Amino acid sequence: MRKILFCVCFLLVCCVVYAQHTGKYKVNGKIEGMESGQVVMKQKTAEGYNELGVSDIKNGQFEFKGKIAEIQSVQLFFNNQRGSLTLFLEPGKIHVAVKKDSIYYGNVEGTSTNELWQYFNKEERRLESVEAGCAQAYQKAFATKDKEIVRAATRAFVDATKARKIFRNEFLNHSAHKYVAACFYRTSLMQKLQYAELDSLVKSYVGMENNNDVRLITQRRDLMRTVAVGARVPEINLPDVEGKFFALSSFRGKWVLLDFWASWCAPCRREGKHVLELYKKYQQDGFEVLGVSIDQNPDAWKQAIKEDQTPWKHVLDQRSEVAKTFGVSSVPRVFLISPEGIIVAVNLYGKELEQRLEKIFSK
């Protein structure tokens, strides 16, 4: 695996400099199945997308050109077609070939960073496919109840998972892959990382501060610092089921599990059943739960509370404004808050939450 990776890197990026990359780029593109229309080039920002340019499609072909001072990832959107295509603007001629019904899987080549990105994504998909196949084989083997067959299938699945992780780690940590790695972290992993992980990541991108992906990762790092373990929890003041505003600070002096959830989130509601047991056990000792729903439909929210019979305080963050303050981009997400209002743990579920509360209330 390492030899293959080294060869690919050597062929694609014999010489890469990560300071300032000033030069002209030209994107020549062709889309199969669309003779006319428009292609819009956009770049992700913390607030949404920033439009960088528009190109008319003529006879299935389009073109972008300009000057770039730092390698940047951008996305191409084709009329109202579903999905977008990611590419990197860097000096040189960039060739794009895409099909109307599979925009995301389009091919980009001609410059080193784009070809690295293509290689990385294709290899990731291949290894994920192998892993998925091994998982299916394991399920079939388990049904046979033959211990040897099950052991062999288990080893194959473990090896496939290990191979995928090794490839990803080695590729992303390679010094010549920093632009590709930054794009991948920003698009696929950034929302899942905690403050310490994001801080370490930002520090590895010294000299790339003008790169948009690094800038967004840094912004995410700065946000997560405010809700990291050891930080004072931001105030929350939202309407409850009766429409009356309730403040998180009303629970000061008690241990609080701040639970971001939604009625449509099955894992949230499954975990809620476990939290209910802990709430009944420790509520008299000073344990409270504040459920913060990101539902857009108040009726669905109230119905879920009724069905699950969760007796703790519930508030509605209908526009997800509070969720954004806490860096919550997906649910479930929980924060354990001390009586002094300090965040002491993030994302404690199941047995881990049970053990932490037992330790707290057994003192």
Per-residue pLDDT of the chain (363 residues; tens, 9 = 90+): 555 554 545 444 443 443 344 589 999 999 999 999 999 999 999 888 999 999 999 999 999 999 999 999 999 999 988 899 999 999 999 999 999 999 999 999 999 999 999 999 999 999 999 999 999 999 999 888 888 999 999 999 999 999 999 999 999 999 999 999 999 999 999 999 999 999 999 999 999 999 999 999 999 999 999 999 999 999 999 999 999 999 999 999 999 999 999 999 999 999 999 999 999 999 999 999 999 999 999 999 999 999 999 999 999 999 999 999 999 989 999 999 999 999 999 999 999 999 999 999 997
Q: What is the pLDDT of residue 363?
A: 73
Q: Can you give the pTM of this predicted structure?
A: 0.85
Class of domain 15-110: mainly beta
Give the 3-state secondary structure of the chain. Answer: CHHHHHHHHHHHCCCCCCCCCCEEEEEEEEEECCCEEEEEEEEECCCCEEEEEEEEEECCEEEEEEEECCCEEEEEEECCCCCCEEEEECCEEEEEEEECCCHHHCEEECCHHHHHHHHHHHHHHHHHHHHHHHHHHHHHHHHHCCHHHHHHHHHHHHHHHHHHHHHHHHHHCCHHHHHHHHHHHHHHHHHHCCHHHHHHHHHCCCCCCCCHHHHHHHHHHHHHHCCCCCCECCCCEEEECCCCEEEHHHHCCCEEEEEEECCCCHHHHHHHHHHHHHHHHHHHHCEEEEEEECCCCHHHHHHHHHHHCCCCEEEECCCCHHHHHCCCCCCCEEEEECCCCEEEEECCCHHHHHHHHHHHHCC
CATH superfamily, domain at 237-361: Glutaredoxin (3.40.30.10)
- Burial label for 73, CB within 10 Å (0-12, 13-18, 19+), is buried
Q: What is the pLDDT of residue 21?
A: 46
Q: In the chain, where are the structural domains located?
A: 15-110, 115-225, 237-361
Q: What is the pLDDT of residue 196?
A: 94
- Burial label for 145, CB within 10 Å (0-12, 13-18, 19+), is exposed
Q: What is the pLDDT of residue 241?
A: 97
Q: What is the pLDDT of residue 2?
A: 53
Tens of pLDDT, residue by residue over 135-175, are 999 999 988 888 899 999 999 999 999 999 999 999 999 99
Closest CA to 71 of 118, 141, 18: 18
